[in-house]
Amino acid sequence: MAAEGQQHPLKIYYMVWILLFVVSFFSYMVDILEFHGMTRWTLIIVFMLVKAGFIIAIFMHMKWERLAFKIAILGPPVAILVLISLMSLEGGYVENSRIQNYGESTFEAETPGHH
């Protein structure tokens, strides 16, 4: 007996493939149009996450999995991103409080070999 598997229409894969090209085009336009600062990095991260989401959902078949499996796979990366964000916020707070209490640093790194 042959094992029967679930078949997804190829149209879905072609549509996502086209969407990945479109999102990649906009991602390249960020560089071509020379966005700067937070706008640039926000757009780069957003386009990256959109492309990763399409790939995970469709090409890795996550869209058709049970909710418990989705949470088990996607939960840890989300938790890590939250913790990284919290560390980033705390780092800014610590640096600002250090400057407020002790003033700007006058430390100059010494070049190796030159005393």
Write out the residue range of the structural domain in which residue 57 sits. Answer: 9-64
49 and 15 in a common domain: yes
Query: For the segment 87-114, what is each residue's pLDDT rounded down to a tens digit?
Result: 888 877 777 787 888 877 777 777 777 6
> What residue type is 50 in one-letter code?
V
The 3-state DSSP composition of the chain as helix, strand, coil percent (nearest 5) reads 75, 0, 25
Domain contains 89: yes
Domain contains 3: no
Sign of the CA dihedral running 74, 75, 81, 84: negative
84 and 55 in a common domain: no
52 and 86 in a common domain: no
16 and 57 in a common domain: yes
Query: For the segment 5-21, what is each residue's pLDDT rounded down to a tens digit?
Result: 667 788 989 999 999 99
> What residue type is 61 in one-letter code?
H
Count of the separate structural domains present in the chain: 2
Domain contains 72: yes
Supply the angle between the helices 37-54 and 10-32 in degrees, to the nearest 10.
170
Domain contains 14: yes
Give the global pTM. Answer: 0.62
